[in-house]
Chains A and B, each alone.
Chain A
Amino acid sequence: MTQTLTAHAIELRNVNIYYGSKLAVQDVNLTIPRQRITAFIGPSGCGKSTVLRSINRMNDLIPGASIEGKVLFGGKDLYEGNVDPVEVRRRIGMVFQKPNPFPKSIYDNVAYGPRLLGNRNKRTLDEIVEESLKQAYLWDEVKNDLKKSGLALSGGQQQRLCIARTIAIAPEVILMDEPASALDPIATQAIEELMKELVKRYTIVIVTHNMQQAQRVSDFTAFYSIRKREEIEGKEQRWGVLVEYAPTDRLFSNPAHEETERYIRGEFG
């Protein structure tokens, strides 16, 4: 996976995602620019998290999940036969909806990634832990109890610890799946400010339920929605589609689609 100097980090081409035989997301085409924040918004069940998780192949872990089309990262298809998902996830990190620190010390949480990569040098690890915690604006709060369990921190601190943990392996892209939805407003604000700092170095893709959050932090916004079809026996099939993708300002001020407009006015979702 050699990085070519394209302006975008990730490109999705004609992506269909299935769970078993059931279509989950249909025909997504999207280019995610480098060192920008791209937000995925849309009603529940529209497949925005599914698309996000397909970018670092986390969907591989779900039995029966499959994908069609191309997910290009630096021009290379991540789903080609010779690509190891472990390498993909090492270069495209992920922060989850619910803060999920490991039941280990703060230090061990952050050192986890470098250790996975075979780093055993105490001095190097110390440096990485300190730098990562500083980048996540957590260092000042925890520098005196690095031996404390990561689970002993508050929810917001835990989420910043998870971000620090992700930064520690120096990924090129950070995927965030509703990173602030389990947090209070103050912690949410801290995470948003942190994202604005991080985007100077990393490409960020964030899924959010919160339209204000998308407006506040993102440079580009992709709006997903749901399509339905009545099946023969009265069952309804639902799948997600990408409706509109534009710079955030334009999408919120002047949406091209009527459905987008109705969604941002809060008429459904």
Chain B
Amino acid sequence: MSTTPTTVSTVEPVSRLPVDEAFKRHLRSRHLRGAVWKRFFFLANVVALLALVALFLNVVDRAFGLVATEYTVPPESIIEEYGFQVDSAALQALESNETAEIDTSSTILLENLTSEQLVTILQGELGGRFRVIIRDNLSAIIDATFTSVPLSEAFPGLSLPEGREDVTINDLTPEEQAQLVIDNLPHSRLVDITIEQVLQPRIVGSWSLGESIFNREAVIEQATVNHPNAEVTFRNWVSLDFITSSISSTPTTAGLRTALFGTLWVVLIAIAVALPLGVGAALYLEEYATGNNWLERLIQTNIRNLAGVPSIIYGLLGLFVFVRALGFFTSGQFIGINDVNGRTVISASFTLALLILPVIIINAQEAIRAVPPSIREASYGMGATKWQTIWRQVLPVAFPGILTGVILSMSRAIGETAPLVVIGASTFIGIDPNGPFSKFTVIPIQIYQWTGRPEAEFARLAAAAILVLLTLLISLNATAIFLRQYYRRKLQL
């Protein structure tokens, strides 16, 4: 009780708080704990990065590699059969090239033939199917009416045999048909058609990129033992042909074009529908709703729940509402498109639009909330109406943040498979979608379908399709990110 103030002020802190050695020891452990956590956080990044790299390598590993190709009809035998002479220089070039690529060897041999010779082979080997070649490559009419319309209608703008404009293709002599093809198809295309239709290459074995690089000798040996007539070449499964060809049941000619167009149509319409709706909903909730009535509170609390609903449930909703109940509209019957059901691009787009709507709303709300109140105040203080303030100040400032929602939702929409399977996207379709009321398929469904096929080559096509899907996703997102940066810079925020 008789302690002086000085003893109180020095003794008290010493007894309560650590000093000197105790402080230093504790400080070391404090720093240590921080360092441990820092390593853990770094490790988390490494794990994520490794997972991404592994994923990417796995896809690339399948999308490129050696293949063994066999011709149903070897090029040498067909040339011999028709008694054509092959340029000796070409043969030399072929022989000097030990591991000649199969495409190259057949191309070199066939390119030495004239268009007339190629057409002779085609006509001899294909017979009546030669007309199908004419239709698929030259005609403006792609259905069965092709054989019953006059040539001038079937081949607008092409050079036709003299005086035969008004007859049908069936009325032409084989020589006239040949002349029609020779006059109108380029030589390189004739070579491609001959390879595809007459030589009919078949892939009889394929290997991954890893095997092809690190174990090349063994692969070639295995191929020569199992398929003595096959030639082993390196194949890039993500070729331009792959992207531009439509679907086929043979892996060599199967392409992604239909699914690519399907994905673009579905996703772009979905964004076009969901963006105005989502931003509108967010504007209402942020700018107009007072939050005082139960309905607004219900909506507000449930938007986040909606974002977490499994996508297949949206698929069921889409099936019942868009495909069935609104089938008259989604099938296009109301504007006279003669279609039987609503399993169309527009049904898929609306379903995906509902799916991504919560994501867009949440991001737009956050972007609108982040607009500084001082800007709103300034605008009102200038005598702006509420709408003028929203339109001229709030939306432009919130726009980059709204685009973040678009980026996230686009990524989600592009990858969705389940709801589209439920609403009935086609799994095998050869006709490109040409509008909202077309039948369609999308890339993820195509990938799913290919991975389910027994042939190993379809798994390679699936990997190639994944690369195309990723590229598409990255380029669409890059566009949105570019726009976002552009508007951010414009605002100088």
Contacts and interface: CB of A to CB of B under 8 A. Distances in A.
A86 B375 contact: no
B22 interface: no
Contacts of A116: 382-385, 388, 392
B3 interface: no
A103 B378 contact: no
B378 A86 contact: no
A36 interface: no
B486 interface: no
Contacts of B374: 96, 98, 100
Contact of B383 (A61, A98, A100, A113): A113
B378 A113 contact: no
B380 A162 contact: no
A90 B492 contact: no
Interface residues of A, number: 28
A112 B393 CA distance: 10
A152 B490 CA distance: 12
Contact of A89 (B372, B376, B380): B380
A91 B375 CA distance: 19
B240 interface: no
A86 B384 CA distance: 6
Contacts of B380: 58, 61, 89
A87 interface: yes
Contacts of B290: 63
B384 A102 contact: no
B490 to A, nearest CB: 8
B491 interface: yes
A68 to B, nearest CB: 22
Interface in A81-106: 86-87, 89-91, 93-94, 96, 98, 100-103
Contacts of A166: 381-382
Interface string B428-464: 0000000000000000000000000000000000000
A54 interface: no
A186 to B, nearest CB: 23
B382 A165 contact: yes
Contact of B378 (A96, A117, A152): A96
Nearest to A98: B374
A149 B492 contact: yes
Contact of A102 (B375, B383, B385, B388): B375
A208 interface: no
B375 A89 contact: no
A173 to B, nearest CB: 12
A91 to B, nearest CB: 8
Given A112-B392, A116-B388, A58 B381 contact: yes
B367 to A, nearest CB: 14
Interface string A219-234: 0000000000000000
Nearest to A56: B381
Interface string B386-415: 001000110011000000000000000000
Contacts of A136: none
B383 A90 contact: yes
Shortest 5 CB-CB distances between A and B: which pairs?
A: A90-B383, A100-B374, A94-B381, A103-B491, A149-B492
8 contacts: A61-B377, A61-B380, A89-B380, A96-B374, A96-B381, A112-B379, A116-B382, A117-B383
